[in-house]
Structure 1
C-alpha cells in the first residue's frame, strides 16, 4: 500500500488486513498505521524511494493525486517485483462536461502536470506504461465515509448537529452518486485478486441516494433539532452560494450535476460492485467524528468547505 494512513488508503489497508493478507505500508511516517499491518517502510513519494528497492508483492494500491511523476517513479521502482498495480484515479479524467450516462469509453483529458484532472490522467498513463494490462484504473467519483479528510460529509454532519434552520439545496429528490471509501476498498481488492485491469468507473449506481435522504440521515444520527429549509436550486445559486464548495456534495440539475452524479457504472457492477446504504455511511462517519479528540483531519491541498453562517442567515432571510 503506497500511503495507507489516511482516508482511502487507510480503508484499503484495513480491508486487506481483515482479509488476512500480509500488508506492507509505504508512507512518510506522519500518520498512524492501521492495526495489523505487517510491515512499515518509510519514504517520500516525491523523492526517497529507497525502501522500495527490494521486496516482492502480489499487488500494490496507489492513491496518489498530485503531479503524476510520483506515480511514474513508484511504478518504475516496483516494475518486475509487483504482480498488479491498482491506481485509484478519478472520474475527473473525462473531458468536461461528461454527459449523463458516460462510461469508460468517454473522451479523457491529456495527462500532465496541470490541474487535478491532468494529474490523475497522468497517473493512469504512468501505471499503464509500467504494467500494461496488469494496471487497474479505479476511476472513483465522490468519496465519502469515515476518515474523510476533504470535509464534505463532516461539514454537513456538524452543520446539522448545530441545529436551527438549515439551508437545504433542492430538489429533495435530486439523485446523488458517491462511493463509500470502504466499498471502494473492497471492490478494488476483489478486482486485484480477480486479475482485472483497465479502467472502471467506481461510484454508486445513479440514484443510489438523494439529497433529501442524505440530509435526513444526518439529522437522524446527530439527533439535533435541525429544521431544513428547502430551496429551489435557482434561488440558491442566485444568492451567490457556490455549489459543491459552499454546500458540499450538492450540484444543481444541469451539466455539472450530469457530469458528477450520472455516471454509467455498469462495468464495475458486473465486476461485483455493491454499495452500502447511505444511512450506514452517514452513521459510521458521525461515530468516527465523535471519537476524535479534536477537529477532523483536513488535507492541506484542499480548501476548507462549507457555507459561512452569516451567508446562510442572509439566504434564509431572503427565502422567508
Structure 2
C-alpha cells in the first residue's frame, strides 16, 4: 500500500505512520517540515518514507500535483478551506480518503450514553472568520463541514474516524500525562470531580491500528475510535496509573473552584460524551490495556526529563487546596 499522510509527524500522525511502516506500507508525508523534522529520515530505521513540503495555511500544494496513492490520511484538516484545497490538489489520484475528525462534531445535549456514529451532529460552519479561529464553539462545527466535504467528494471512497481523547507517548496535550505523572508522586490527590465519572481514552497506537486496518480492508463509513476496551472511571484511571508507578494514592474530591481551568478528563456533562466503540471493534480496533498505556507514557515522560506541563494543579496550589479541604472537614 502506498499511503499519503497529510501531517504525520506529530502525535496521532506519527503513530499512524509508524503503524503503516510496520505493516510494510510505503508512506509519503506532506507538511511544512517544521514538526518532527528528524523523524522517519534515512538512517533512523525508517524505510519507504518520502517527504513532500507544502503549506496549507498559504495554499501551497504544488508538491502534490504529481503522484498516485492507494489511500490518503488527512490528520491535519481542521477547516473546510484546508480540506478542500487538499482534495482539489489530489483529485482522483487516490483510492481512499480517510479523514480524522472528532467527537466535537456531535450535539451537546439530548445525547444518550453509549451513542453511536449516527448520533445527530452540530450544524456545519463554513464562514472563514469563524472556522479559522477555532475555539470550543467553532472547532466541532468546522469538523462537521470538513466531514461533509470529504463525503461529498469521495462518496464510498471516503472514511471518517472520530477519535475520543487520545493518550500515549509523544502526546503534546498533557491531558493523560498529568494523571500519570501526578499518580507517580503518590499521596493525596485533589480531584475537582466525581471519581465515579466514566472516562474514555484511546491509546494512539490503537487509533493508528484502526486507521491502517480500515485502509487495508478498503472500508468506507464512520467509526468511533474510543477506549479503553474495559470501562473505567476517572478514579479508576488514577489508581491504575498509581499501580503502574508503584505508588499509593488517596483521591480527595474537592469542589470545583470558580473560574478554574478545564481540568484533564473532567467533564461535567460526561453522559453525553460516552460513545460506543462497537462498530470500530468489529472493524478491527485493537485494545491496548490501560496499564500498558500508562506504563509507556510514564517511561516516555521520564525519558524526556518531565518538562513542565500546563494542565491540572501546580504542586503548591494542590497542596494548599488539600489543606483547605482538610480544614473544612475538621471544622465540619
Matches of 2:19 and 2:31 in 1, distance apart? 18
Deviation at 1:313, TM superposition (A): 2.8
Higher alpha-carbon Rg: 2
Select which of 245, 250, 260 maps to 2:266.
250
CA-atom RMSD, angstroms?
A: 2.3
> In structure 1, what is the equivalent of residue 329 of structure 2?
none
In structure 2, C-alpha distance between the alignment counterparts of 1:20 and 1:308, rounded to whole Å: 44
Q: Is 1:236 paired with 2:255?
A: yes
2: CA distance, partners of 1:227 / 1:127? 46
CA displacement at 1:63 relative to structure 2: 1.3
Note the alpha carbon deviations across 1:274-317, whole angstroms, 9 max, x for none: 32110011111111122225738x8xxxxx42224444234312
The answer as to whether partners of 1:174 and 1:211 remain within 8 angstroms in 2 is yes
SS in 2 for 1:23: strand
Query: How many residues were matched structurally?
Result: 303
Aligned to 1:28: 32
Q: After the TM superposition, which of the residue ranges 70-79 and 14-23 deviates more from structure 2?
A: 70-79
Gaps of 5+ in 1: 299-303
Give the corresponding residue for 1:72. 84
Among 44, 48, 56, the alignment partner of 1:45 is 56
Taking structure 2 as the reference length, the TM-score comes to 0.83
Deviations, residues 257-286 of structure 1 (Å, cap 9, x unaligned): 0122x2122221222223211001111111
Partner SS for 1:105? coil
Q: Give the whole-Å Cα distance in 1 for the aligned partners of 2:106 and 2:13.
A: 23
Q: Which runs of 5+ in 2 are unaligned?
A: 41-45, 132-137, 327-332
Match of 1:312 in 2: 318
* Displacement after TM superposition at 1:37 (Å): 4.6
**Residue 43 (structure 2) aligns with:** none
Aligned to 1:57: 69
Matched residues in 1 for 2:87 and 2:200: separation? 31
Q: Deviations over 1:19-65 (max 9, x none)?
A: 01111111211123233352111111222111111000000111125
- Aligned partners of 2:183 and 2:239 also within 8 Å: no
TM-score by length of 1: 0.86
How far apart are the structure 2 equivalents of 1:236 and 1:160?
A: 20
Offset of residue 205 of structure 1: 6.4
Of 3, 7, 12 in structure 2, the residue corresponding to residue 3 of structure 1 is 7
